[in-house]
Structure 1
């Protein structure tokens, strides 16, 4: 059986790590990105261990042959860097193609989050490079293989893209742009499933950095379970909220 391959950005912690673990347990081969190599390698080891328990019990064929149940490639770097993105595309080519692109890597930008009157424009431009332009660049580079394999694109967004939360204007605008890119992409690429998903508040370092009570939020594993359901069922292209998805726990 040919295993499917997913590229997940921002996979060393939070939602990216939790989703990678879900897909690894389902037997997906994974190409994982994050800025920090050490944290990414630690996440990869954890994901591989979980996949081994799920897919290769002590008397399973993978265990008998000394083979890993899934292949995991880790590539540390900044998705806003064109050279780094080229390495990700090369890894996809070496894997034989791609079935799922998950644009999860992101930045809040300026912290503490400023009001728009005080928003440093250079830092907002950098947030757009990471949150909006880098996902589009990866989509552009990987569309040929995604079309060929009938693949899917999952863009992680936020309710800050739609709601007028004070001090969230800069970050929210980067996600609003990503949502409209996703919306048009779904219309232009009917053979590729395009999902843009608001995961809701999660117990992550990003939420904590925004000055919110992260400890009161649900763990990212809850959202990851819902996203797994979306992917497995190959839901129609569109915008989703984790709170409304079957499979959330």
Structure 2
């Protein structure tokens, strides 16, 4: 039996933008399935106001058994309206993950970043595509300005985000039943951003929670599939009603 409550799957929902989006959708009466590698941090999702609407599954999206567990959770809901690829890694699993010049990149570095940032989203989307298409749902991948800019030392991460953009939008080109977005959220005050700039004060960056209203506006307006900046969509007020937001009730 299909549950009428809209369902989202958000990878990497234990912190940062992923957690903020989990909080926003669960408070809007969506059921949100999410995951994270840090079991303890993921468990703290129980403190969210909409925690009763959250299914949290610890694990790594590069692990086939974990992806099967995510698919089983979606199958248990009977529908999928939104799939968000948010989980990612900055760089190699060992050593200094920052500022690794392309000339110094090893095959192991490439495999690690590509598996997390491109391979896992591709395979997970393929697993869930029939269910997402049945709901005429949205595929949303969190990209970066690094996908289109060329920053020294960011080459491996940047290339993976460019690859994720391409994979995401090709899914839409191949499947008329879904809409797909690759979205640059802009700089944010997250642990990942701090990891890239250790010891630096990043308090001037906006919190992830300030980006979520822009993502909700994107989903509500439902433009054609493409690459967008979150800032290009005026933020929805936290008190916006379905009537005021037009199609918000149908999508978000």
TM-score by length of 2: 0.86
Q: How far apart in 2 are the matches of 1:160 and 1:192?
A: 26
What's 2:173 paired with? 187
Higher helix content, 1 or 2: 1
- Does residue 122 (structure 1) correspond to residue 124 (structure 2)? The answer is no
Structure 2 match to 1:23: 25
The corresponding residue for 1:245 is: 233
What is the rounded CA distance, in whole Å, between the counterparts of 2:60 and 2:201 in structure 1? Answer: 27
Name the structure 2 match of 1:36: 38
> What are the Cα deviations for residues 143-175 of structure 1, in whole angstroms up to 9, with x where unaligned?
101111111110011111110111110100000
Whole-angstrom CA distance in 2 between matches of 1:234 and 1:134: 25
Shift of 1:112: 2.4
Q: Describe the SS at the equivalent of 2:211.
A: helix
Q: How many residues align?
A: 229
**Could you list the per-position Cα deviations for residues 28-87 of structure 1 after superposition, in whole angstroms to 9, with x for gaps in the alignment?**
001011101111110x2233x2x38xxxxxxxxxxxxxxx4xx21110000011111010
Contact persistence 2:216–2:236 (CA under 8 A)? no
Matches within 5 A, 1:75-90: 75-90=57-72
How far apart are residue 248 of structure 1 and its match? Answer: 6.9
| Distance in structure 1 (CA, Å) of the matches to 2:193 and 2:13 | 16
State the Cα RMSD in Å: 1.6
TM-score (norm 1): 0.87
CA deviation vs aligned residue, 1:167-193 (integer Å, no higher than 9, x gap): 110100000111111222221112101
- For 1:51-90, what aligned pairs fall within 5 Å after superposition? 51=50, 68=52, 71-90=53-72
